Amino acid sequence: MNAYNIVKLIHVSTAAISIVGFVGRFALAWSGSALLRRRALRVLPHVNDTVLLGAAVAMLSMARINPLSLSWLSAKIGALLAYILLGMIALRPGCSRGTRLAAFAGALLAFAYIVSAALTRSPLGIFAE
């Protein structure tokens, strides 16, 4: 396995950990669990997401790709920003439950789109020919 494939494996693995962690934290937030106040649950998602982003940058560097030169990568970046914003709203205790649930659903859709665009290498994702 070459270095690029190792970095890609790290990227895909941390993306999976990220979404599982997000769903878990949303479930805890929805139920009002005190576990969310634990230091590990506040710090580890940021550590994982930093490794995820670092692996993405490393893959781009190794492949000598400008992410804005490929439409599917630009679309992924836009969807990533939407995922982050919606995820923040979904986990925010000050928002109404309806708003939080809608933001959670939107964040999951954004994540699904990100994966779809990555797998198809098209900004149309699963709707690509």
Query: Is the domain of 61 the same as that of 36?
Result: yes
Distance, CA of 3 to CA of 108 (rounded, Å): 30
The reply to whether 79 and 61 lie within a common domain is no
Q: What is the pLDDT of residue 72?
A: 94
In a 13 Å sphere around the CA of 108, the CA atoms on its Cβ side amount to: 12
103: Cβ–Cβ under 8 A, 6 or more apart, which residues? 86, 87, 89, 90, 95
Residue 57 sits in which domain range?
1-65
Residue-wise pLDDT tens digits, 34-48: 999 999 999 999 999
Examine the domain organization and report whether 60 and 120 are in the same domain.
no
Spell 68-89 as b/e; 16+ CB within 10 A means b.
eeeebbebbeebbebbeebbeb
pTM for the structure as a whole: 0.92
Which of 43, 65, 87 is a domain's end point?
65
Residue 53 has pLDDT above 90, yes or no: yes
pLDDT at 1: 83
Whether 55 and 92 map to the same domain: the answer is: no
pLDDT tens digits, residue range 58-104? 999 999 999 889 999 999 999 999 999 999 999 998 899 999 999 99
Domain identity same for 105 and 121: yes
Percent of the chain having pLDDT more than 90?
Answer: 93
Give the pLDDT of residue 7.
98
In a shared domain, residues 82 and 99? yes
* Domain-ending residue, one of 65, 84, 111: 65
